Structure 1
Amino acid sequence: MRQQGFQASQRLIDIANAVRSDPDLPRSAVADLLALHGEHPDDLTEAALSEQDAQALRSAAIRMFGPLAETDTDRAALALNALLAEHAAAPRLSRHDGHPWHLHVDHGDDAGWADWFLAASALALAQILSEHGRITWGACAAPNCRNFYLGIGSGSPRRYCSTTCASRARVAEHRRRKQAERRPSPTTERF
């Protein structure tokens, strides 16, 4: 069940993962993802979210891959600051289409989908970084997984997008160690 209000950070992760999985994600799939994250159906018609808008959103998601995959907190902060400088404006509270009050940082109601997405996504990650003092998101460390994850809980930093990927990686590492233990160590001959 979806919580009340917008969750720009989770929207970013969901859209980035979908685009990473399918760079040509159809306009209808982009609209479905936006609807899942609370966008009003009237804003997601082909007239309101054109194929050109969907392409711009896909490109914006690809642009967020860099900050999402960044492992250095200082470099992540610099990348987010650059995105905010380019795409964000003074914050304002907005209530439209029956939504509760929420924060907008794009350049106004006429801002394009891509600018809106980049500004909101950069702000969401910047808020998480400032609250935790470190990066709590990233690219899954499991081999053959290309998903991004969002870790906002306390405790040690996450490295995997899911418990499935974490378990697979642990099992693979365990098997690798066991196999290495079974190999005979190289002997050296002395003359």
Structure 2
Amino acid sequence: MVEKTTGSGFRPAARLIDVVNAVRADPGISRAALAELLARHGEEPADLTEAAFSPDDAAGLRAAAERLAAVLTETDADRAAPALNALLAECGARPRLVRHDTGPWHLHVDRGDDASWADWFTASSALALAQILTEYGRVPWGQCAAAGCARRYLGTGPGAARRFCSPACANRTRVAEHRRRRRRE
């Protein structure tokens, strides 16, 4: 779950969270399901046909999501930053401004238009997390603290740092803790 924010890294980070959670929920998620998810995050349908986004591309994207999931469990900025730097260095490209048709200009750090889906996803996600880390000065992402839930979240809203992916997980945990305390009494 992603909170609304005005930060520049929000949209790619929201896509990252959704893709990571989808892949973690179903490691064999189909190419079609990934394409549908990417379309919901603004990718062009023409770029998501089986010819443009093949089953091999989907496999690469699933692997990239698993690698990025590990960064999303890092809670310390001093460890998250080097992990993000390593991903950005691996992408091996310089930032460039890109515009699709008449859309707004935005930053890409992948190897160019011939970059694989996995490279694009890794580069754009690492850049988004790096922007968010610098904007907030802390790690505003994590893995849900609720028992039995491993969903990743992005907590960029106001207030204290989040521990849960959703109000439902937070409430379920609080109720369970309350019941445990009452049984002990």
Q: Tell me the TM-score range normalised by the shorter chain.
A: over 0.9
1:88: Cα distance to partner?
4.7
Report the equivalent of 1:189: none
Distance 2:23 2:101 in 1: 27
1:61: Cα distance to partner?
0.2
Report the equivalent of 1:53: 57
Distance 1:22 1:67 in 2: 19
TM-score by length of 2: 0.92
Distance 2:102 2:92 in 1: 24
Structure 1: 4+ residue segments shifted above 3 A: none
CA radius of gyration, larger in: 1
Is 1:90 aligned with 2:94? yes
Specify every segment of 5 or more residues in structure 2 that has no aligned partner in the other structure, as ranges: none
Matched residue of 2:72: which SS? helix
Distance 1:92 1:162 in 2: 35
Matched residue of 2:165: which SS? coil
What number of residue pairs does the alignment pair up? 179
State the Cα deviation string for residues 101-132 of structure 1 (Å, max 9, x = none): 22111111110000000000001011111111
Matched residue of 2:107: which SS? strand
Distance 1:136 1:71 in 2: 8
Report the equivalent of 1:70: 74
Aligned partner of 2:156 among 147, 152, 177 = 152
Q: How does 1:179-190 map to 2 (within 5 A)?
A: 179-181=183-185
Instruction: Report the CA distance shift for 1:51/1:97 in structure 2 as closer, same or farther (over 3 A).
Output: farther
> Cα RMSD between the aligned structures?
1.7
Q: Percent identity?
A: 64
1:154: Cα distance to partner?
2.2
Which is bigger in relative contact order (C-alpha 8 A, separation at least 6)? 2
Distance 2:95 2:79 in 1: 24
Distance 2:82 2:91 in 1: 14
Specify every segment of 5 or more residues in structure 1 that has no aligned partner in the other structure, as ranges: 182-191
Distance 1:88 1:12 in 2: 20
Is 1:104 aligned with 2:108? yes
